[in-house]
Structure 1
Amino acid sequence: MEAIYTMDSLNEKIQLLEDRQDTEWCAIKDEIDEIKDNLKPLNLIRNTVEEINETVGFKSHIAQSAISIGIGYLAKRFVVGKSDSKVKNIFGSLLQLVVTNLVSKPHEPSREESS
């Protein structure tokens, strides 16, 4: 640290530190937004599927589709369970279809991520 002897140099140093604080605060906010985005349930599932694909080495679309269908089926069983009700079964099938489609779509970075 250099010694500060004048009011002008003190004000200049204060301004530099405030600018640095603003920059660091913006970086922290961006990091928090990224963490919140990664913790969304759909993104957690997508990231898990992508990691499974990378780990096991699934490169084909058939394997990725099978994993997506499996996750959709698990979502249906988790939410609806085994039921004799036609309404619940229809709801479960729709849920399975939605989850399978959402998981199978490739992750598209948002505008903030690509900047």
Structure 2
Amino acid sequence: MKKLNQTELLDQRIAELTLQHNQELVELKQQFHAVKYSMSPTNIVQEGLNGFYQTFINKENLMSTILSIIGGYVSKKVVIGKSDSSIKKIIGNVLQFIVTSYLTKKNTKTQTEL
């Protein structure tokens, strides 16, 4: 009699796991379709254009970003100049990144205070 009870429990557990498996499969398919849609070339281009449009609308933010990039580039050229040394180029790139980041943070902080 006990064997029959264990068999019934095993059948019940198999049915539960099958149901769970089917539900997870449906969720996985939905996630796959969502990722497939978001990674489509048209969607990527559309999101990029929307981001560019939003940046273009906020001209103050665009101007501060451009000034930060120019500031970093100029600081690199002033400190390093025209050098063929790989180490100097790496140091120049790091300096450019640091100056650009600093100017961006400073401009963002200044804009939020206004």
Q: TM range, normalised to the smaller chain?
A: 0.3 to 0.5
Instruction: Specify which structure has the higher proportion of helix.
Output: 2
**Bigger CA radius of gyration:** 2
Greater relative contact order (Cα 8 A, min sep 6): structure 1 or 2? 1
TM (normalized to structure 2)?
0.41
TM (normalized to structure 1)?
0.40
